[in-house]
Structure formats: structure tokens, C-alpha cells
Amino acid sequence: MINWDEFEHIHVIRKLKQIIGRWWNVDVFFADDRGNLKVIQKGVQADLKNSVCGLILQRDEGYDKLVEFARDAVTELRKSQERGVTRDFLPHLNAALFPIVIDNDFMGAVISVGYLKQGSADAQKKELAKSLAHYNLPSQDIDFAVSKLKELANDETAYFMELNDLVSQEISTLHKEISMRDDRISELNKELGIR
């Protein structure tokens, strides 16, 4: 069983999330093998880098939309067996998902939400803004949030995908190391108990 809260405090994972957030204004979330979001909760203020995510998660309906998206996307990722999958979270607002695999078992996913593809036209941004209006958000806040979104350039895509995949690999590696350490401690405790 993965202790999701533990990974949020691991220096390497925290730094990778900061880099991804700083470079692309993308928020990185974790989901378990059923697509249940971890570390973020409904109604709890979170430190988000992406202006649209920050705006939509102010509303319960927005949080529910992210939960529904995570469940559907993780199910798709599990079936695909790919190292990375991209999907629209909202119209033209993209997300990338990366599996967390431990000992050949699918344990969850890293979900990076909040970028536009290169060449996103004003019409696409307006369509995104229109979809955000359904959450009863102030129009000036929507316009500001959409204007702050970054486009992921075609030449940056491979690097973006690699960094996000590195987060999922790091979680897998750390979980294995923690499990090995715990097993070793149990063995030593048994040896001490025998003496």
C-alpha cells in the first residue's frame, strides 16, 4: 500500500513538481489505482501553480470535475499500458498522465494538468473560457486565468513528458526502497525476538 502523503514531502518529488509548475504553470496531482485523487481534498485550500486549476477548484463542482476526470483517465491509462497519455481536462486544457508501476502492478498515476498545446488559437481559449463560465466564476477571473496559461511548445513536449514520467518513476523507486527497508527491519526484529 502506498503512503501518498509521504511522497508529497520527499525532496526529489517536491522539487520536480516545483520545476514543472514553474516552467509550464502545470499542477501535478496523484491518483491511486482506482483514480481517487490523493493529497488534495475538496474544500481545502491548495498551493496551485495553474491559474485555471486554482480557479476551478474553488468550486465543489470543479473539484468533482477533476475527480471524475482522474477516475476516467486513470482507467484509460491502466488499459493502455503506455508510459504516458494526454487528454483534455477541459476543452483545449490538456493533462498528461503517467503510470505508477511497482513490481509490475499498476498502483496509480501522476496527473499533470493545465497546459495548452502549441498554436492554441484565440477561438480555443474562448471555448475554454466558456466552459469555465459554467462554474459561475467571475468573467474577469476567467479571462485572467486563461491568459496566464502557457502553451507547451512542440520542442518542449518530450522534455515535459520525461520530467513527469520521472516523478512516477521516483515514486515507484522510493516505494520499493521503503518496502525493502521495512522488510529488513522486520527481519532484524524477529532475530532480536529469538535471542
- Beta strands 85-90 and 93-102 are antiparallel
Where is 158: in which H helix or E strand? helix 157-194
> In residues, how long is the chain?
195
Q: What are phi and psi of 113, to 5 degrees?
A: -120, 135
Q: Residue 179: its pLDDT value, please?
A: 77
- Mean pLDDT by runs of 10 across the 195 residues of the chain is 72 90 94 89 83 92 95 93 90 95 91 90 90 93 94 92 93 80 83 74
Q: Residue 195: its pLDDT value, please?
A: 62
Q: Residue 1: its pLDDT value, please?
A: 64
Please report how the helices 122-133 and 139-147 are oriented relative to each other, as an axis angle in degrees rounded to 10. Answer: 140
Sign for the pseudo-dihedral over CA of 100, 103, 104, 106: negative
Q: Residue 121: its pLDDT value, please?
A: 77
- For 3, half-sphere exposure in the C-beta direction (CA atoms, 13 angstrom radius) is 10
- Beta strands 151-152 and 27-32 are unpaired
Q: Residue 135: its pLDDT value, please?
A: 92
Q: Residue 194: its pLDDT value, please?
A: 73
Residues with Cβ within 8 Å of 108's Cβ and at least 6 positions away in sequence, in order, are 2, 30, 31, 32, 33, 38, 74, 99, 100
pLDDT in tens, 126-138: 999 999 999 999 9
| Domain residue extents for the chain | 4-194
Q: Residue 26: its pLDDT value, please?
A: 96
pTM of this prediction?
Answer: 0.86
Q: Residue 103: its pLDDT value, please?
A: 86
Please report how the helices 157-194 and 11-24 are oriented relative to each other, as an axis angle in degrees rounded to 10. Answer: 170
Where is 188: in which H helix or E strand? helix 157-194
